[in-house]
Amino acid sequence: MSSHRLTLLCSLSALVGCTTTPAPGDYDLVIANGRVIDPASDRDAPGHLGIRGGTIAVISERPLAGKDTIDATGLVVTAGFVDLHSHSVGADGQKWQVRDGVTTSLELEEGSYPVAEWYARLEGKSLINFGVSAGHIPARIAVIGGAKTLDEAERIRGAGEGRSPPEWSHGPTTPERLAAITRVIEAGIDAGAIGVGFEVNESPGASREEILELFRIAARKRVAIYAHPRLMGVDPITGSMAGAQEILANAAATGATTHFVHLGSSGNIYARAIVEMIEGARRANLDVTGEVYPYTAASTGIQTGFFDGDWQGRIGITYADVEWPATGERLTAASFAKFRRQGGAVIIHAMKDENVELLIARPGVIIASDAMPLPNGKGHPRGVGTFARVLGRYVREKQTVDLVTAIRKMTILPVERAQRGGAGSLSRKGRVVVGADADLTVFDPATVVDRATFDNPEQPSAGIPFVVVNGTVVVRHGELVPGVAPGRPIKRTYPPPT
């Protein structure tokens, strides 16, 4: 047999999935004996993965030999989870998220400015893949607040309300400001940002025209909008329905690809109506999606516009539903006033589990964490336990959604969303196929569960023994592997893949 024919035979064998057993060491890493679930390719079958040079080189029914082998007997092997919504992409957040199975964490709602500095900060130092949008609030902080660096911007963003609301959030739109904000956002996209993010209820000075302009920029630059609405809450006329309608109208007028963040907290009691509206927009050939995190409490800065005016009536809660994480205390009028001047994230117990379940079960709704930093080990647990919580509590215990659908919502759906939103370099992620990036999560479907709680969030998820990022093992036997930083930047490619 000529070598030519041998090569051909091998290729054919690979195509039908039965390779000859290679010599030991052919692969950098082998994940053996797992149940490989890949919703993107409709795979749910036992198999062995051979990884070479950071990519999946083979998926085989027969055992493989590698320099390093993970025994995944009894475990599920899936693409690593892709989180579209993390405010904790830095080192502190990564160490929790990666043990929750996350291999790519993107800051798309808040976004950033300056974008180049944001990427540079993580370059070569990141456990997991990372990316960011051009943020509207950071742009306002730059244009109105005068921030020139990330540190300045973050300091201004986190500061307490003081005597009066800050100008960067509550100052009105002017033609000059809008032109400058537009320039800053466009520069961010040109620097690689993979979308435009806004949270307009935390920057209530921004007019509706200013927000519409963000959609125009996104449409022009062919990146996605990541939208946190202006109006949220239970009021039938000025509540969450109206908030969603502003976003949908802007999408209709501009054609911008649009993603609704955290539908649970934005949708409140109107979650079903809003998810149905999003589906209607998709039927009208607009690219509109949404996401949910699996908790009945929200979190945001107590100093922000979220708490302007009659927030109790608006959201349908009282002081006692607001928790100060540092002490675990529920607030009163007096402690609320004190903490609002001081500033800091609070936990807001505002949602009904039936609405959270509805969104988790709904086909097409993506799982994303909205991870928040945990200063002094306190804060919302969603940055630590979101993905294991879905797999443990909503798939296994409540059977809200089946395992394969849940994995789809954590892998290929967020990848395709961000990819169509301009993040072309995600095209080899979110899938377990030959040639894909070896971002892999190995978990035990019988035991996987979140352990992070509102009282004590710094407890990593259980039942996720192995996580691989670009072919490098970053979690082994549930422990962080020291001294590795295989994460790579996810940046905009233009034009986006269709």
Partner 1 sequence: MTRWPCSLLAAVASVIVRQAAAQQYDIVLRGGRVMDPATGLDAVRNVAIRGDRVVAVTAGALTGKTVVDVTGMVVAPGFIDLHAHGQNLSDSRWQALDGVTTALEMESGAWPIAEWYENRAREGLLNFGATVGHIPARIGHFSNATKLAEVRAARVNSGLTPDWSHKRLAPNELDGLIANVKRGLDEGGLGVGLGITYTPAASPNEIHRVFELAAAERVPVYVHTRSSPVNEPGVSLLPVQEMLADALVTGAALHVVHLGSTGLQQAPLLARMIEAARKRGLDVTTEVYPYTAGSTLIQSALFDEGWKERLGIDYGGLQWPATNERLTAETFAKYRKEGGWVILHMIPEATVDALVGHPGIMIASDGVPIINNRGHPRGVGTYARVLGRYVRERKILGLMDALRKMAYLPAERVRGVVPAMARKGRVSVGADADLVVFDPERVIDRATFDNPAQASAGIPHVLVNGVFVVRDGKLVDGVLPGQPVRRASR
242 binds partner 1 (CB under 8 A): yes
Stretch that binds partner 1, among 31-39, 63-71, 237-245, 329-337 (CB under 8 A): 237-245
Selected binder of partner 1 within 212, 326, 404, 485 (CB under 8 A):
212
Q: Which position among 3, 285, 327, 498 is part of the footprint of partner 1 (CB under 8 A)?
A: 285
- Taking the least distance from each CB to partner 1, the nearer of 280 and 375 is 280
Is residue 179 involved in binding partner 1 (CB under 8 A)?
Answer: no
**With respect to partner 1, which residue has the nearer C-beta, 309 or 483?**
309
For residue 284, state whether it binds partner 1 (rule: CB under 8 A). Answer: yes
How many residues bind partner 1 (CB under 8 A)? The answer is 30
Q: Name which position in 51, 64, 223, 251 contacts partner 1 (CB under 8 A).
A: 251
Q: Which of 246, 287, 321, 353 binds partner 1 (CB under 8 A)?
A: 246
Q: Which is nearer to partner 1, 286 or 485 (CB)?
A: 286
Tell me the one-letter amino acid at 45: A
According to CB under 8 A, which one of 162, 236, 375, 377 is a site residue for partner 1?
236
Regarding 250 and contact with partner 1 (CB under 8 A), the answer is yes
Q: How far is the CB of 420 from partner 1 (least distance, A)?
A: 17
Q: Does 175 bind partner 1 (CB under 8 A)?
A: no
Verify binding: residue 178, partner 1, rule CB under 8 A. no
Q: How far is the CB of 273 from partner 1 (least distance, A)?
A: 6
Rg (CA), the chain: 23
Q: Rule CB under 8 A: choose which of 22, 158, 165, 255 binds partner 1.
A: 255
**Segment interacting with partner 1, rule: CB under 8 A, options 96-104, 145-153, 242-250, 335-343:** 242-250
Closer to partner 1 by CB, 10 or 253: give it.
253
CA distance 408 to 420: 16
Footprint of partner 1 on this chain (CB under 8 A)?
208-209, 212, 236-238, 241-242, 244-246, 248-255, 270, 273, 276-277, 280-281, 283-286, 309
